[in-house]
């Protein structure tokens, strides 16, 4: 879904798309950015509704508070 959104709305922008997996995804993401000398990190924020926001830990929010890499957050309207 996320790659589809990027391709359709930002298709003329040169980018790479990575799926980061691990026990502590936040740490894996920050480590990946550091090791690969990332200039800009882009994440897509999904609207989960009221109850989803109450019970879901936001990876985007956590990353925003812990990264030194510039972060651009796109909002998924789907």
Task: Tell me, letter by letter, the H, E, C secondary structure of the chain.
Answer: CHHHHHHHHCCCCCCCCCCCCCCCHHHHHHHHHHHCCCCCEEEEEECCHHHHHHHCCCHHHHHHHHCCCCEEEEEECC
- What is the pLDDT, as a whole number, of residue 35? 93
Q: Do 60 and 29 touch, CB atoms closer than 8 A? A: no
Domain ranges for the chain, please list them: 2-76
Per-residue pLDDT of the chain (78 residues; tens, 9 = 90+): 466 766 777 667 777 777 878 888 888 888 998 999 988 888 877 777 777 667 777 888 888 888 899 988 887 765
- How many CA atoms, within 13 angstroms, populate the side-chain half-sphere of residue 61? 6
pTM of this structure? 0.65
- What is the pLDDT, as a whole number, of residue 76? 75
């Amino acid at each position: 879904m996320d790659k589809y959104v990027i391709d359709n709305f930002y298709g003329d922008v040169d980018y790479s798309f990575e799926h980061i997996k691990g026990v502590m995804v936040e740490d894996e993401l920050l480590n990946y950015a550091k090791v690969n000398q990332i200039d800009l990190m882009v994440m897509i924020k999904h609207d989960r509704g009221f109850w989803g926001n109450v019970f879901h830990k936001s990876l985007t929010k956590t990353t925003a508070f812990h990264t030194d890499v510039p972060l651009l957050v796109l909002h998924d309207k789907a």
